Amino acid sequence: MRLRWGLVWALFLIAPVIVPASVPAWADIPLELDGTFAQGGIVVGQTDPAAEVHFGDLVLPVSDEGHFVFGFARDFEGPGEISIVLGEQTLSRTFDVAARQYNIQYVDGVPPETVTPPPEVLDRIRAEGAIKRAARADVTARTDFARPFIWPLTGIVTGTYGSQRVYNGTPRNPHLGIDIARPTGTPVVAPAAGTVTLAAPDMYFEGGLIFLDHGHGMIDVFMHLSEVLVEEGQEVEQGEVIGLVGAGGRATGPHLDWRMYVMGARVDPSNLVGPMPEEDDGADQ
């Protein structure tokens, strides 16, 4: 008993002296960052669940386990900075964001009306734009973004993220997805669990289109589907079939165009899944 009280007194006397003098205030804030620090990259972090996390102008949601996510747009110019505020303490970390080289890709043979839409479809395009924006407006508490992802489809990669696209000789916006070629009807699976926020069988540019919410502003997009096999509001598990490959919208042949938003930034989803498996290049299909 005497020994214990001795120890308590020793801690009481030493702690106020030693802790502030030898340990910077922010050292109490845990921070791990894991991901791709490059344009189009996605970074998942973990800190104290009670912390407030700032990335640029954004305040990022933090899960009960302390997870958060942010991403770098195609033309993001570093350095990036993240600040973690916990009580009176702030931990800031800056990091370089690598620039990427983007190709120019010439795509001929797409339906001309999808390159320069005729005036009579402009209302439809505008209405569909509003539907798409609404389907990615909500930032939800799902935490699937913090778990490993799988390819939604394996096959030949025919288009990469960020390339400048020239359709039938007409320059258009950069391509912000990854194109994976497979025959019409090949199943597309959910790369991670999520909630379907858009399930549209026939959009003007995208054909069959699905948005899948993985939480904290991470929403991915599946384009040109011949069949949409889920409904809005439906929850799906990783690996569950959500649709079938097709060639609808602005496409020259059957493929999946997989895209991703993270808190509004259009990022490269292939960062989450590593290289395309070689044995599964679709050659035998």
Euclidean distance between CA atoms 64 and 87, whole angstroms:
17
Q: Which DSSP category does 246 fall into? A: B
Site for Zn ion in 226-265 (CB under 5 A): 257
Alpha carbon of residue 20 to chain centroid: 40
Smallest separation (angstroms) from Zn ion to the CB of 126: 22
Give the count of residues interacting with Zn ion (CB under 5 A): 4
Report whether 172 contacts 238 (CB < 8 A): no
Smallest separation (angstroms) from Zn ion to the CB of 178: 8
Nearer to Zn ion, 72 or 161 (CB): 161
Euclidean distance between CA atoms 283 and 265, whole angstroms:
34
Euclidean distance between CA atoms 144 and 56, whole angstroms:
23
User: Which residue type, as a one-letter code, is found at position 228?
Assistant: V
Smallest separation (angstroms) from Zn ion to the CB of 271: 17
Q: Which residue's Cβ lies closest to Zn ion?
A: 257
Nearer to Zn ion, 162 or 177 (CB): 177
Go through 253-266 and write b for each residue having 16 or more CB atoms within 10 A of its CB, e for each that does not: ebbbbbbbbbbebb
Nearer to Zn ion, 179 or 213 (CB): 179
Strands 207-215 and 218-225: antiparallel
Smallest separation (angstroms) from Zn ion to the CB of 177: 5
Name 241's Cβ contacts closer than 8 Å, sequence gap at least 6. Answer: 187, 188, 189, 229
Smallest separation (angstroms) from Zn ion to the CB of 259: 8
- Determine if 48 is a binding residue for Zn ion (CB under 5 A): no
Nearer to Zn ion, 179 or 268 (CB): 179
Nearer to Zn ion, 69 or 221 (CB): 221
Site for Zn ion in 149-188 (CB under 5 A): 159, 177, 179
**Residues in contact with Zn ion by the rule CB under 5 A:** 159, 177, 179, 257
